[in-house]
Amino acid sequence: MIFDPLYLIVLAVGGLLSFWASARTKGAFAKYSKFTTRAGFTGAEVAQHILNDNGISDVTIEPVPGKLTDHYDPRTRTLRLSEPVFGGRSMSAFGVAAHEVGHAIQHATGYSMLKFRSAWVPVANFGSGLSIFIIIAAAMMGGVSTAMGANLAWLGIALFSTTTIFTLVTLPVEFDASRRALLALEAGRYVDGEELDGARKVLNAAAMTYVAAFVTSLLTLLYWAMRLGLLGGRDD
C-alpha cells in the first residue's frame, strides 16, 4: 500500500503544501517583525485595547512559550500570545495579537462557525484516531469487493471525513478572525496605512497554513475513497 504511486503523490503534494505555507508564514512574520509600529504598544497591550474597544472584560492575556504558538482558548477565555508577539512592538506582533482577539470577539458575539468548530473538535479527534484502523481493515478485506469490506470502507471514510470537515470549517473561522483584526486595528487607529498592510500580509500568509491543511486532508480522503473502490471503481 505504501508503494502505491498515487499515495506517494498525495503525500508529496500535502508535504509540499504544508512546507510552502509554513515557510511563507515564518518569512512574513520575520520580515514585518523588523518594523516597529508608531503606536509603540506591545502585542499584549494592543490586544487589551481591542478587547476594551469591544467591551470584552472577561478575557485574560498571558504569554506562552515558542514562536507562532498564539491561540485563544474559549474554554477558559484566555488569550495566549507567543513571546515575540506578547512583548513585541512590530507589525507582525500587532497582526497576530489582533487576530487572536478576533477569535475572542467571535466567542463574545456567538459567531456560529466558531461554535460549530468548537463542538466538532471531539468528533474530529475521535474520527481521526479510529479511521485509519478501519480503513486498513477495509482494504485488507478487499474494499467494496466484499460486503464486510464495503461496510468498513464507508465507515472508515465517514470517520476520516470528520477531520476534513474540521479543516474546512476552520477556514471561515480563521478568515473572519483576520477580517475582524484588521478592522479593529484600523478603527482604533493603532496602525497607519503601511502598518496595516504589513499586518494584513502576515495574516494572509498565516491563512495559507489552514488552506494547505484542508487541501491535504481532502486529497487524502479522496485517495482512500478511490483505494477502497468507493470512487472510480478502484478496489485493488
For the annotated catalytic residues, the residue numbers are 100
C-alpha cell at 214: 484542508
Q: Which residues contact 14 (CB under 8 A, 6 or more apart)?
A: 212, 215, 216, 219, 220
Q: Which amino acid is at 220?
A: T
Length reported for the chain: 236
CA gap 13, 36 in Å, rounded: 37
Q: Is the C-alpha dihedral spanning 20, 26, 27, 32 positive or negative?
A: positive
Do 116 and 152 form a contact (C-beta atoms < 8 A)? Answer: no
